[in-house]
Amino acid sequence: MTAGTPGPVEAQLRASVTRFAGPARAVATTLVGIFGVVATPGAALPVAFGLLALSLVAAAADVFGGRRASFALSVVRAGALCATQTWITSVPGEASLWAVNVLTTTAITWQWQYPPRLTGPALVVLLAAGIGVGPGEWLPVALRVAVESVLARLAFVLLVRSSRRTDAARAEQAALEQAEALDRDRRRREREYLALLHDTAAATFLAVASGAATDPAAVAGYAARDLVVLTGGDGVADDTLVDLEAGVRVISTGRALPVTAVWEPVPLVPASAALAVVRAAEEALRNAERHSGADSVAVHLGPAPGGVTLTVSDDGAGFDLAKVPASRRGVRGSVVERMRAAGGTAEITSRPGAGTTVTLRWSRA
């Protein structure tokens, strides 16, 4: 919403007022005109019917005409009634109720449609047209019309300002929600990157430090692979549907622990989800190799409602989840948070002496 451009609430308010002010004026002035004809003395009935015909024409302009035609004919209608009220009044020497009511209705509804620079001079002309009934009788009418016009305009201005505050509050809320969404996305990307860092460079450093990787060429290959993954060369953001089974088969072969795998037909999944499942499973396999002390590990891939389920289980030493330090990101970052960021879940079941089972689930929401 740019400066000077009405917001949606203000624009709707102005459109509604503009749409209904004219028809409201048309209905009110027509009804007043009908009752005015009934109250007009018999000798002045030709004039009264002429004024009623003029009022109906102006009412048609209020409903079907444009802003200019409606305003012009409103001036003509009210002016004619004010100028001829000495003829159509039922009480000689008093202001005509027909003229007063039409003038009041016109003055109030104008404040909702037109700016004061236009309605102010027009009201002065109309009030001057009615002075012929007598200054003493017309002065209270003029004061009443002026006060009602000011109050109507004030009410309209307050409504517009209230709608502007509502628009500003909505815009601020939308900006806050957008900022929160960006912040959530940034944190998600940070978690994904930390998980990638743990799975790649940190794992390579650990292998070198523990002596598990001593061949310089192999270490160089690991480092090159890590660099490709960390710089996004593996298409992390790709949502093309892929075969999850192929990726799981790759990470299940050639491991330090023998892997017993059971495969069931599963649907294709987006590459981003498949990547999260494969990497979380790879971390689960790596943890089993490093910490479980088991002789083998079992992998089971099967379908789930709307998605897939992958379990990695061993019958090793197990561990107490509550005692895992917060600084250890292997379980939290590379498994749980990674699956959550991809729209899935990770459930880890383990206890000392009873082995560990990692269950990864992903389904379409």
User: Per residue of the chain (365 residues), what is the pLDDT tens digit?
Assistant: 555 678 888 889 888 888 899 999 999 999 999 999 998 888 889 999 999 999 999 999 999 988 999 999 999 999 999 999 888 887 777 888 999 999 999 999 999 999 999 999 999 999 999 888 888 889 999 999 999 999 999 999 999 999 999 988 988 888 888 888 777 766 666 665 555 555 555 555 555 555 555 556 555 555 555 544 444 544 444 456 777 787 788 778 878 888 888 889 888 888 778 888 888 888 888 888 888 888 889 999 999 888 899 999 988 888 877 766 655 555 666 788 888 888 888 888 888 888 889 999 998 86
Q: How far apart are CA 235 and CA 248, in angstroms?
A: 17
What is the pLDDT at residue 189? 61
DSSP string across 39-61: HS-GGGHHHHHHHHHHHHHHHHH
The pTM assigned to this predicted structure is 0.54
Distances, alpha carbon 138 to alpha carbons 105, 223, 255, in Å: 17, 97, 103
**Ramachandran angles phi, psi of 343, nearest 5°:** 90, 15
What is the pLDDT at residue 58? 95
What is the pLDDT at residue 63? 94
> Taking the chain, what is the end-to-end CA distance rounded to the nearest angstrom?
34
Strand order in the sheet with 259-263: 259-263, 297-304, 307-314, 356-363, 344-350
What is the pLDDT at residue 291? 81
Domain with CATH 3.30.565.10 in the chain: 237-363
- The dihedral built from the CA positions of residue 210, 215, 220 and 222, taken in this order, carries a sign that is negative
Query: Residue 58: exposed, middle, or buried by beta-carbon count in 10 A (0-12, 13-18, 19+)?
Result: buried
User: In CATH terms, is domain 237-363 a member of 3.30.565.10?
Assistant: yes
**Ramachandran angles phi, psi of 224, nearest 5°:** -65, -40
What is the pLDDT at residue 26? 95
What is the pLDDT at residue 60? 95
**Ramachandran angles phi, psi of 39, nearest 5°:** -85, -5
What is the pLDDT at residue 237? 43
What is the pLDDT at residue 155? 94
What is the H or E stretch that residue 312 is in? strand 307-314
